[in-house]
Amino acid sequence: KENPRSPLTSLRPGRNNRLVPPRCLTQKGESFHEAMAGILVTAQVFGLLPVRGVRRPSPLDLHFERRSSRAAWALVLFVGVCLVELVSLRHMALTLSADTFGVIGGIGAATAGAVFYGNALIGALLLYRLAKRWPRLMEAWFDMEAMLRKGRPPTLRLRFNVLCVVVMVGALVEHIMSVLNAVPVFINVHVYGESRPPPEDGKHVVDTSSGAFFEFLDEYCHSSHSFIFDHVPYNVFTGMLIFVMSKVTTFTWNFVDLFLMLVSTGLAERFKQYNAIVFESDVAMLNKEDWRELREYFAVLSALTKNVDANICSIVFLSFGNNLYFICLQLLNGLSPGNTSWLATVYFFYSFGFLLGRTVMVTLITARINDLSKEGLSALFSCPSETYNVEVARLQHQMASDDLALTGLRFFSITRNFMLAVAGAIATYEIVLLQFNVAISPHPTDLPPAGTAVVTASTGQ
């Protein structure tokens, strides 16, 4: 006999006989699928997650097609980044094997470009693979939202918009400062009206005969990507390719972290909604059917969390590995001796602070899933013996034993304790890198000055 209180009684059949909620069960625009629409459209401009139907109200309209304009555009940008990465890898291999390795910037200058563009390539590949699974994942998420309809649903759209503004505006400011830091001569000549200084021996001479933009492009590329032109000649085409691909790569790096924040927020807010249902209920008055319903709610949330982790655990691993590398590199660069301009100093501290803050945000927001999945246990332990039954026991056991968290390829789980482990790893690696750089450098002054070439290379900008 059908239980009239069952959360599944209001669902209607959908594609492949999946249960799909009617529109009245979710606030308009507040489902996870709808709240993600804006940022996914923006991501597709940069060739990421090429899925059709992201702006449709139902996830049943989501489709991934290899032969589509979105997939073709993603392939074009992927090839462009791949070209820059191949040159970066060649530079890294030649630099690491050179006799002058210790004099020309150390391990940071040798590896930063290859790691940065390699991170973008891997991130684009992982998101492309996720695009194939995204429609099914969003259907499962939508089913969960239909089932967990008690209590007040979270206002995801507002939260997502705030996160997007904070991360992307911060990234835009950092990127503008990076560009300005890379063209000091252009700024002095065209903004402050100073005369161009005479060329230094062994330094690239900027072509000033083709107009201000091409002069800017020339100085920018040779300042931020000088390692590229040790292997390929500079012309307008290579300059524009580097300029555009560096922007695509910078967006990809920031989007990967933002994507993890949004997915984690969507899951954590549903656990928060579930906990509110549990704590607002009078546990002494709940019968066996009530407890069964609460257990089923938690089981659905648990299954969805594991489903999400199975699909994005590689992206989590990439995000934390990449951020750990660049935090260590920025610290190494900042602790190295050298004189820099005030703009380079301001850029270094802002860039490092933004990178560190973004990493902390990803960790804390993702760790909320684990925290909130255990929060309801205190209410279960207060259940009186008169109403304690097998459903309460099953729910207690599942909450206590089910370690729900996003993982990095299941090598590590993102919890609050994980942030302390990352901090310890950064301190350890930094000491090793400092000793390594000092050991390979004949003179301390051979290390690059803080805020200059290595910092610019570390952001790929």
Q: Please provide residue 375's backbone torsions phi and psi, each rounded to the nearest 5 degrees.
A: -65, -30
pTM (2 d.p.): 0.87
Q: What is the mean pLDDT of residues 318-334?
A: 88
In this predicted structure, what is the pLDDT of residue 94?
Answer: 86
Q: Distance from first CA to last CA of the chain, Å, rounded? A: 64
pLDDT band at 246 (very low <50, low <70, confident <90, very high): very high
Q: Which of 19, 274, 290 is nearest to 141 (CA)?
A: 19
Model pLDDT for residues 372-423, shown as the tens digit of each residue: 999 999 989 888 888 899 999 999 999 999 999 999 999 999 999 998 888 8
In this predicted structure, what is the pLDDT of residue 454?
Answer: 37
Q: 90-118: buried (b, 16+ CB within 10 Å) or exposed (e) per residue?
A: bbbeebeeeeebbeebbbbbbbbbbbbbb
- CA dist list (Å): 42 to 49, 113, 161: 10, 25, 13
Beta carbons of 402 and 302 less than 8 angstroms apart: yes
Beta carbons of 377 and 404 less than 8 angstroms apart: no
Query: How many distinct helices (H) and strands (E) make up the chain?
Result: 14, 2
The Cα 183–Cα 215 span in angstroms is: 10
Q: Is 440 helix (H, G, I), strand (E, B) or coil?
A: helix
The Cα 222–Cα 243 span in angstroms is: 11
The Cα 451–Cα 458 span in angstroms is: 10
The Cα 68–Cα 177 span in angstroms is: 36
pLDDT band at 455 (very low <50, low <70, confident <90, very high): very low
User: CB within 8 A of 346, min separation 6: which ones?
Assistant: 177
Beta carbons of 42 and 165 less than 8 angstroms apart: no
Query: What letter would DSSP give residue 13?
Result: E
Q: 253-280: buried (b, 16+ CB within 10 Å) or exposed (e) per residue?
A: bbbbbbbbbbbbbbbbbbbbbbbebbee
pLDDT band at 201 (very low <50, low <70, confident <90, very high): low
The Cα 439–Cα 442 span in angstroms is: 8
* pLDDT at residue 120 tops 70: yes
User: CB within 8 A of 324, min separation 6: which ones?
Assistant: 359, 422, 425, 426, 429
* pLDDT at residue 102 tops 70: no
Q: What is the mean pLDDT of residues 164-180?
A: 95
Segment among 59-73, 96-110, 225-239 with least mean pLDDT? 96-110
